[in-house]
Chain A
Amino acid sequence: GEDVEQSLFLSVREGDSSVINCTYTDSSSTYLYWYKQEPGAGLQLLTYIFSNMDMKQDQRLTVLLNKKDKHLSLRIADTQTGDSAIYFCAETLLEGFKTIFGAGTRLFVKA
């Protein structure tokens, strides 16, 4: 089946690390993504990872993929108030190249 699940809320203090988790169910997924949505805006691609990778790092962002458990995480180091947004996990299915999004995790950063 096609499903992507995320927790709905996460609250952290400014300067701490944030870890947003996601589970997906389709083993044929090859490409997984994290998108960020700020208020009143569309989704913005943050990063993507191929399923043959375990980790990808890009400045303050670290993506970890556990393909065996179908678990994807996004770690934001030194979280800032500007990181407050909704973060969407997504997978692209090989069949038809359809992209499935999770419901999004709303990150609150307390100053």
Chain B
Amino acid sequence: DARVTQTPRHKVTEMGQEVTMRCQPILGHNTVFWYRQTMMQGLELLAYFRNRAPLDDSGMPKDRFSAEMPDATLATLKIQPSEPRDSAVYFCASGLPLGGLYGYTFGSGTRLTVV
């Protein structure tokens, strides 16, 4: 089965440190999303890319978060500096052309804990 691969699965870091999360979308999927999931806020859209170009990152705190797709096989989400309120599970999802109208495939997530 084709799958979206996220690394690392778990990350514990101290406040103020830089965190980089990586995602390998399914080959051929041209739409990539980053979501954050917390108990309080549920699933929040942070950013999404089509053909590696950022289309919408309005859900992302831009002073500390950045998202990039250096190539079609890698998407990154970086937090610098990290804060305890960033603790959450971060999901990457990818989809076929036409904006993934047939649904997206999610990775297993990166569980981030900032202490």
Contact = CB atoms under 8 A, between A and B. Distances in A.
B114 to A, nearest CB: 20
B24 interface: no
Contacts of A103: 42-43
Interface string B18-45: 0000000000000101010000001101
Contact of B104 (A30, A45, A96): A45
Interface in B48-89: 48, 55-56
A43 B93 CA distance: 9
A38 B94 CA distance: 19
Given A99-B33, A104-B43, A42 B108 contact: yes
Contacts of B108: 40-42
A44 B93 CA distance: 10
Interface of A: 30-31, 33, 35, 40-45, 48, 88, 92, 96-104
Given A45-B103, A99-B104, A104-B43, 20 more contacts: A30-B101, A31-B102, A35-B106, A40-B108, A41-B109, A42-B106, A42-B108, A43-B43, A43-B91, A44-B106, A48-B103, A92-B100, A97-B31, A98-B45, A99-B33, A101-B35, A101-B42, A101-B45, A102-B42, A103-B43
28 contacts: A30-B101, A31-B101, A31-B102, A35-B106, A40-B108, A41-B108, A41-B109, A42-B108, A42-B109, A43-B43, A43-B91, A43-B93, A43-B106, A88-B43, A96-B56, A97-B31, A97-B99, A97-B100, A97-B101, A99-B33, A99-B45, A99-B100, A100-B45, A101-B42, A101-B43, A101-B45, A103-B42, A103-B43
